[in-house]
Structure 1
């Protein structure tokens, strides 16, 4: 089979790999019908994710048709269409029983390695380094799905791939970001990042009844998309977000803020971004937390800062004093996809949201290396790429 393969920083190629086979009674094999390039994939492409190995297959947003199942999978059969959550969950451990699927105790064979960094290991992830299991990802023709009886969402008849594909990650991630911020009718929210997760966070906040949602970015096409979908937009290349938010909220600031950017944040003409670039280039920190710092300053006293943007290991100059003085609450982490996906599927079926609004580029698997560069560099108004193997 063909798959998008890691060969080092900035070097993804489409290579031939052995077809996956059933290795455990709870496995399934799917034929991938649609897959997508995610912003988190760029962390591997840009060299920010440790424990990547040459030959790893990339990708964690995918869906397809069941081709084979192990003897222990009683709820799937050949021909079923499924969306596969990027977080692999066993379905029976303490965390899965409490619907905290991204914290699964059983699905990460690299748990000891990750626990040495984080204190406790989280779930295994598709296509996301050998800290998270080293599982082959979904930018391929076929994928082995471990714990397949728990790690899937069946697709009802009448829905296209593009309507449901994003239930694998970015739609639940945006929704969880809004839920973690406790967005409710009347809320005022600020979201950093008008990429795919930020845009789904925007849509989720509006579905939950937010009165005002500000979206902060500096890419005109992304800001235009956010405005078209109900946001008040702030271009951080033209104005300081803190100043703009103070003015727009009459000095109150938003009580809910969302960092949908994460470790590859870029500021505009500010000293801390230069500092972070030097520190990350010399491996003295593993991310650029400019947005995180800014969001802390821009969150209302007593407010909640929700962090769906991925961070790895350590960041520097974290303004804990400001967060403490303002009495902020932080909520963060990988997405518990299967906690949210059934609710979001209902929103899609009932016409409250059409996730296809996000797609700007489509291609075949062989187009992936070029489309990664287009997506990373935000060329050709690129917001979201969908590939069909």
Structure 2
């Protein structure tokens, strides 16, 4: 089959690789009909995530048709149309039983490696380094899906791929980011980063009762899309974010702050950003955390900072003193996608939201390497790329 493979920093290629096969009775094989490039894929492309190996198949947003079924699978059958969550979960361990699927204790075969780096191992993830299991990803013609009775959601309506594909990651992730904020009716929610996850977080904040939503970015197309989602917008190249948020909230600050950027933040020449940009290329730091620092300083006292953006390691100069003295609550994590897929599918079916609004580019899989560069460099108005094998 053809699949997009990682060969080093900035080097991804569409290669011919062996087709996947059933390795465990709980597996299914899915023929991919649609897959997407996620903002967190760019952290792999840019070399920020350790434990990648040449030839690793990328991609964790995928859907398609079940073409082969393991003997122990009871919920799916050949011909089913499914969306595959990026988190792999066993469904029976302590964390899965609590609905905390992204903390699954069973699905990550490289748990020992992850514990050395992080103290504990997260669940296995598709296409996202050997620290999270080394599972081949979905930017390919076929995908092996372990624990298939726990993960994929069957699509039985006439909804298009584009309407449901993002149940695999960015829609649940944006919703999770807003959900864990603890939004109360009328709250002001500030979202840093108006990429795909930020766009979903903006719309999710409204669904959860926000009274005001602010989107922060510098890319005109992203700001326009946020504004179309009824967010007030701040272009951080034109005005100081802290000053503008204080002005908007009468000096109190936003009630809830969402960092939908993560480890590759930009800060328009601010001192902390300059230091991060010097340190990260020579491995003196792993993350550029300007947005997280800014969110901490902007959030109101006793407010909440939500972090769906991916971070990799240690963060320099984190303003923990201001966070403690302001009484902030932090909520973060990889999204327990399985918890959200069915209720969010019901919102799509009811016409409350159509997540396909975020798509700007539709391309064949063979053009994926160029699409990665276009997406990373924010060229051609690119916000979200969907690939068709």
TM-score norm. by structure 2 comes to: 0.99
- How many angstroms apart in 1 are the aligned matches of 2:89 and 2:223? 35
- What RMSD in Å do the two structures reach over aligned CA positions? 0.6
Deviations 1:288-329 (A, max 9, x none): 000000000000000000000000111101110000000000
Deviations 1:144-170 (A, max 9, x none): 001111111111221110000000000
The aligned residue for residue 268 of structure 2 is 268
1:127 aligns with 2:127: yes
1:367 aligns with 2:381: no
- How many angstroms apart in 1 are the aligned matches of 2:257 and 2:264? 18
SS across alignment from 1:31: strand
Aligned length: 389
Deviations 1:139-197 (A, max 9, x none): 00001001111111111221110000000000000000001101232111100000000
SS across alignment from 1:381: coil
SS across alignment from 2:305: strand
- Structure 1 segments of 4+ aligned residues over 4 angstroms from their partners: none
More displaced stretch, 111-120 vs 254-263: 111-120
Matches within 5 A, 1:323-338: 323-338=323-338
Matches within 5 A, 1:128-277: 128-277=128-277
User: Which consecutive residues of structure 2, in runs of 5 or more, have no partner in the other structure?
Assistant: none
Matches within 5 A, 1:53-68: 53-68=53-68
SS across alignment from 1:34: strand
- How many angstroms apart in 1 are the aligned matches of 2:13 and 2:205? 37
TM-score norm. by structure 1 comes to: 0.99
- How many angstroms apart in 2 are the aligned matches of 1:183 and 1:156? 32
The aligned residue for residue 322 of structure 1 is 322
1:90 aligns with 2:117: no
- How many angstroms apart in 2 are the aligned matches of 1:172 and 1:213? 18
SS across alignment from 1:273: helix
SS across alignment from 1:144: strand
The aligned residue for residue 309 of structure 1 is 309
- How many angstroms apart in 2 are the aligned matches of 1:170 and 1:217? 18
After TM superposition, give the deviation of residue 269 of structure 1 in Å: 2.2
SS across alignment from 1:162: helix
Deviations 1:237-289 (A, max 9, x none): 01111000001111111110000000000111211111001111111111100
The aligned residue for residue 41 of structure 1 is 41
- How many angstroms apart in 1 are the aligned matches of 2:263 and 2:257? 17
